Amino acid sequence: MINFARRSDCHITGSMDNKMLTLLILLNALATCLSFPQRCTQEEAAIGRCRTPAEEGPQCIEMVLGYCQDVPYTHTTFPNIVGHRTRQDLEMGAEYLLLSVINGLLKGECSPDIRILGCSVLAPRCDNGRLIKPCRSSCEMLKKSCIHAFEAIQMAWPYFLDCDRFFVGSEEGCYDPLLELREKQEVALANISDGGLSTVIQFTYHSNSQMFSVLKKTASKCSHISQTYSIGRSVEGKDLLVIEFSNNPGQHELLEPEIKLIGNMHGNEVLGRQLLIYLAQYLCSEYLLGNERIQTIINTTRIHILASMNPDGYEIAASEGHEYNGWTSGRANAQNLDLNRNFPDLTSIFYNRRRFRHFRSDHIPIPDSYWMNKVVAPETYAIMKWIRTYPFVISASLHGGELVISYPFDFSRHPQEERMYSPTPDEQIFRQLARTYADAHATMSNNDTERCGASFANKGGITNGALWYSFAGGMSDFNYLHSNCYEITVELGCDKFPSEEELYPEWRRNKEALLSFMESVHKGIKGIVKDEHGNGIKGAIISVKGLRHDITTAEDGDYWRLMNPGVHIVTASASGYSKQSKRINLPRNTQVGRVDFVLKKVPREPSLDYFNIPELDSYERFDPFNQFEQYSQRELGEDGEERTEKPWWWTYFSQLGMSAPTWLLRNY
């Protein structure tokens, strides 16, 4: 008897009688055993057949993969869930290579979570001859938290982490590969005295991916009062990510005012970006710790924070660093456009028509010439749509290069005059908003504070924009003339890119000012305009006698009108309804007054006054020529395929002679 064996658990036997027949049987049995490394009986070998994995089940082998040594199990099996037949096949594949470099690609974000979850698919758990798949819920939770990190580097979510395809539900006997990791994290948090409620703010600069990570994690930690959402993408495809705080995130609440804070409009003016990242962490942490002031702000106000309006420009500035950054390096976006000169020039329209008696200085439509004659940056387009979507009441745009608060108008009423006092009809309101921030800042309102070249002596740290220097196409003027929003520009200091050692002192100087500014939205009056049946009237006009600037009601008929203390006559009107006026006395110590209106339906002839209320369809006319859509279309080659420049990380995979992992390319 001759025994052939490939391994101790697979024996093939045969007889030397009838040599040719026996040899054929033995060779066939040997080939079958080499193809399927499972146990064969003598009877099966005699007829040249071994059982397949599907018939006998997977064979558990010891986990020896270097990048999967910290998974919560010790044995795996092949073929794996995605089809690699052997460990060698897996180690030579792009999937395993991705796990080996993912920590560096994502700059430590979502690590080791992504790697462990990937191992649960590529080297799945095997117990007692049974392959156990990971839970779908684990995949979905991690994808929700980490998808932005992949988007930040223009990488698609890996196909082998498809939550529906390779993961199963608990009813199918799954396991959570991240449970042990989360338990360790919870133990670490439990060692913190406040139970992990507070946030340790790192006063360092954040890359774009780190910024996205911090904001996402903050929203996840305070999910009952916070969420993140994107308003669009930059030229290079980076998310314009907003974090929102409200006691009902994602929803507009009746009579609750909404505010926005914007940083990094100029990519090299980076302090505002950092302050808003810190502010988001601070609001979350202090709310959880029971800070009554912070809880009141969030419970009564809907706050939207866009830390970086120009992430492309920031990358240029950050590549040079604070020691070498020039005055303008990274200021513009990736199209070399100054975003604070890229908005529609509605101020010129205001100046040209202000002599007409019935001309309104609010909700001025965007002229068609803007879309035809100007290159509209995607960042500008996103901000304009954002302003038109939410009923913002006040806003602050954080800049650098001076230490002063600037307010509209930014464009001089005489275009040839570069420095000319050019007030809006709401000059006193803007001055009060500017004073609120400047007076709460540690040094801004002090006339003895060293400035950065401009002369603001005896102005207390505030100035009319056009009196400082005039420019057209600014964001603050656009806010005021196109919407209900009053925006100030906060110049945070002389150094546009301060050293990291200055970040904590700057946070201390500005924290109270940021909080006071947010609280200042609760000034003036608010109310609801309804019809006789109690239904809110959208787009009703709220006018104040003596002020040639009106505001309009939001979707449900609610409004907010900033006003200084005193006696005012307020009128509500709407097309097809009678007007109603009320005389109100707003005491100095009143936080905000409530003034409601009920309008009666009446027949109304259409107005023939061209300079009266802009027609609704004229105001709603946005991007009428699909200019932005044309700009956004992908460039196609002669073969009809999209021409795309491969991302920087593509070289990790393209130079190793393996099959190109096109599944990592977005929109492939």
CB–CB of 401/267 below 8 Å? no
Q: How many residues does the chain have?
A: 668
> What's the sign of the alpha-carbon dihedral 16, 20, 21, 25?
positive
CB–CB of 480/430 below 8 Å? no
Do the bridges between strand 462-464 and strand 486-493 make them parallel or antiparallel, or are there none, so unpaired?
unpaired
Both structure tokens of 590: 């009143």
Q: How far apart are CA 644 and CA 166, in angstroms?
A: 30
CB–CB of 203/100 below 8 Å? no
Q: How far apart are CA 316 and CA 591, in angstroms?
A: 44
640: β partners: none
Q: How far apart are CA 434 and CA 420, in angstroms?
A: 19
Helix/strand/coil (H/E/C) assignment for every residue in 168-208? ECHHHCCECCCHHHHHHHHHHHHCCCCCCCCCCCCCCCCCH
Is residue 491 among the annotated active site residues? yes
Tell me the DSSP string of 279-336: HHHHHHHHHHTT-HHHHHHHHH-EEEEES-S-HHHHHHHHHH-TTT--SSTT-S-TTS
DSSP designation for 339: G
Torsion angle of the four alpha carbons 294, 297, 301, 307, in this order, in degrees rounded to the nearest 10: -50
Helix (H) / strand (E) element for 534: namely none
Which ranges in 390-502 belong to alpha helices (H)? Answer: 427-440, 465-468, 475-482
Both structure tokens of 259: 């505010």
R_g over Cα of the chain = 32
Helix (H) / strand (E) element for 10: namely strand 10-14
- Give the three-state DSSP class for 654: helix
Both structure tokens of 355: 């002599």
Active-site entry in 379, 491, 506, 519: 491
Q: How far apart are CA 243 and CA 284, in angstroms?
A: 11
Q: Which residues are catalytic?
A: 491
